[in-house]
Amino acid sequence: MAPPATVDDVTAVLQALFDEAGVEGFVHAHDIDSDREVAFRADAPVIVASIRKIAVAIAYARQAAAGALDRAARHTITAANREGGGIGTDSCLHDVTLSTRDLAFFMLSMSDNAATDKLMEILGTEVVRAVAAELGCPRLPVGRYRDLWDPVWEELGLDPDGDIDAQLDQVSEERIRGLAMLDPTRSASSTPREITSLLTAIWRDQAGPSEACAEVRELMSHQLSVHRLAAGFDADVRVAAKNGSLWGVLNEAAVVEYPDGGRYAVAVFLRTPTLGGRNPAADAAIGRAARTAVDHLRRAPAAIPTKETR
């Protein structure tokens, strides 16, 4: 199937594939080495979920490059850092000791929330918030997971020290959908364009010292999940990505690099009709949307601008 030839064609294809998957979609793709872009609701506020960890990673890498922290220093993840039921050390029953660098590795490779909280503890919330704002994401959610989730439990009237899963079973879907945390107009958020701008700065060595940017690029290349955005591209295309999920939210942002040197930052955000569980159609839509946008950028002459779709 030939890539869509015009901006209107791209818009139609993206809308059709989101309709087919039964989701609401938001996309921005940017050619890192030019000003070409594809924008589909790219300036609408979106819930970023774990994509926020990219900002934590660049804050860590900047401090490491400056010698302000030791990549090899050992840190212990304890019950105070674990929410339970998550991935990686978040589900460990006992304390785990990792280096500073490996906290960042676990954070980006498997989206380990406990490792993220320990790294946030080391860096400090204000440092990460300042980095996010400096790099064009001033409303990005920043903080330890307990800081982000305690207001949710309070809004739902749950006991944070009790069995959260059991309590959530008694909460209606309507109440969960009405949470401020899931409304980008009432909570910390970003936009697809802001996220691709952050990625572009990292890949252009503009998000910090070149050493720091290179470290984040390398860490992002190890994401274990490949069933969303990466699935839309051929095996010879290098994908460095970070995904995110929440109730009714599926996202992924990445830079895809082709053998011919083409580099493209792309972010796809979805709102889904179901709150959780597996959603193969939505996962596939992320990869298909990213590929559609990038194919257009690779085909479109530099003189042909794209336009925003709201």
For 76-128, the pLDDT digits (tens) are 999 888 876 678 999 899 999 999 999 999 999 999 999 999 999 999 999 99
How confident is the model at residue 33, as a pLDDT?
96
Q: Find the distance separating the first CA and the last CA of the chain, reported in whole Å.
A: 26
CA atoms of 200 and 255, how far apart (whole Å): 8
Mean pLDDT calculated for residue range 133-158? 92
DSSP the chain: -PPP-SHHHHHHHHHHHHHHHT-EEEEEEEETTSS-EEEESTTS-B--GGGGHHHHHHHHHHHHHTTSS-TT-EEEE-TTT--SSSSGGGG-SS-EEEEHHHHHHHHHHS--HHHHHHHHHHH-HHHHHHHHHHTT-TT---S-HHHHHHHHHHHHT--TTS-HHHHHTTS-HHHHHT-GGG-TTTS--B-HHHHHHHHHHHHTT-SS-HHHHHHHHHHHTT-S--SSSGGGS-TTSEEEEEEEEETTEEEEEEEEE-TTS-EEEEEEEEE-SSSSS--HHHHHHHHHHHHHHHHHHHHS-TTS---EE-
How confident is the model at residue 84, as a pLDDT?
65
228 CB contacts (<8 Å, ≥6 apart)?
243, 250, 252, 283, 286, 287
Q: Are 269 and 40 in contact (CB under 8 A)?
A: no
182-192 confidence digits (pLDDT tens): 999 999 999 99
pLDDT tier at 22, thresholds 50, 70, 90: very high
pTM: 0.93
Does 306 score more than 50 pLDDT?
Answer: no
How confident is the model at residue 270, as a pLDDT?
98
Does 305 score more than 70 pLDDT?
Answer: no
pLDDT tier at 53, thresholds 50, 70, 90: very high
Q: Are 248 and 183 in contact (CB under 8 A)?
A: no
Comparing 21-25, 240-244, 300-304, the range with the smallest average pLDDT is 300-304
Kindly state the tokens that stand for 239. Answer: 């994908």
How confident is the model at residue 127, as a pLDDT?
97
How confident is the model at residue 8, as a pLDDT?
83
CA atoms of 78 and 310, how far apart (whole Å): 45
Q: What percent of the chain has pLDDT over 70?
A: 94
Q: Are 124 and 181 in contact (CB under 8 A)?
A: no
CA atoms of 213 and 57, how far apart (whole Å): 10
